[in-house]
């Protein structure tokens, strides 16, 4: 099958991931770690919202072409944090997805206040007004947050879960890390990731904009 260029609305969504979602996500990791006493990311220039500080060239190109890619992980040293290392790592890891949830909530505010209407959204016709941009930003932000909360290494959800579980159970989860990337690829290939995210994504979107 020949490669098809993404539609204008799809390309916009992917640009939002690159220029907003991922930089904010990585900055949140760096900022939260810094607040707990770890300046590793700060010393490497990662305590910044500048996309150039976080984006990976190959991962960025793949996002634009396929919708799947990655940013450069923020370096975090939990042993420098003022909390228990596992707890500190869990907080720093959760900060990334939490920042994307916050973006989605802020995108919904103009609709909740009656300043914008859902009827103005046009993701098919290509007329990218403010309502469309905010709607797609919320969709992208929620998707990015939920994907990263999947409890599979190297995603943030695995580190959060290790910090929440009793130490013995956390150790068992850590033992699976060498297999994490393969498990993640399998979960994505089988469509399990999309299924799990979809079960939560749609209700959350309705909660933010409609209920």
153 cis-preceded (ω within 30 degrees of 0): no
157, 148 Cβ separation under 8 angstroms: yes
93, 149 Cβ separation under 8 angstroms: no
Active site residues: 26
Three-state secondary structure call for residue 55:
strand
Single out the residue of 48, 104, 108, 107 nearest to residue 72, CA to CA.
Answer: 48
φ, ψ (nearest 5 deg) of residue 71: -105, 175
94, 164 Cβ separation under 8 angstroms: no
**DSSP 8-state symbol, 45:** T
């Amino acid at each position: 099958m020949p490669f098809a260029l993404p539609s204008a609305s799809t390309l916009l969504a992917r640009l939002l991931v690159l220029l907003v979602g991922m930089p904010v996500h990585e900055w949140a990791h760096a900022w939260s770690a810094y607040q707990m006493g770890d300046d590793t990311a700060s010393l490497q220039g990662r305590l910044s919202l500048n996309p150039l500080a976080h984006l990976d060239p190959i991962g960025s190109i793949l996002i634009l072409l396929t919708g799947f890619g990655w940013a450069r992980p923020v370096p975090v040293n939990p042993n420098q944090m003022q909390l228990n290392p596992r707890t500190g790592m869990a907080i720093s890891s959760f900060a990334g997805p939490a920042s994307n949830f916050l973006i989605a909530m802020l995108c919904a505010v103009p609709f909740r206040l009656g300043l914008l209407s859902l009827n103005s959204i046009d993701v098919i016709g290509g007329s990218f007004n403010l309502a469309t941009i905010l709607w797609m930003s919320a969709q992208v932000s929620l998707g990015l947050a939920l994907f990263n909360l999947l409890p599979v290494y190297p995603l943030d959800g695995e580190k959060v879960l290790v910090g929440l579980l009793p130490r013995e159970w956390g150790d068992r989860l850590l033992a699976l890390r060498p297999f994490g990337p393969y498990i993640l690829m399998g979960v994505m290939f089988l469509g399990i990731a999309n299924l799990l995210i979809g079960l939560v994504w749609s209700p959350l979107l309705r909660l933010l904009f409609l209920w």
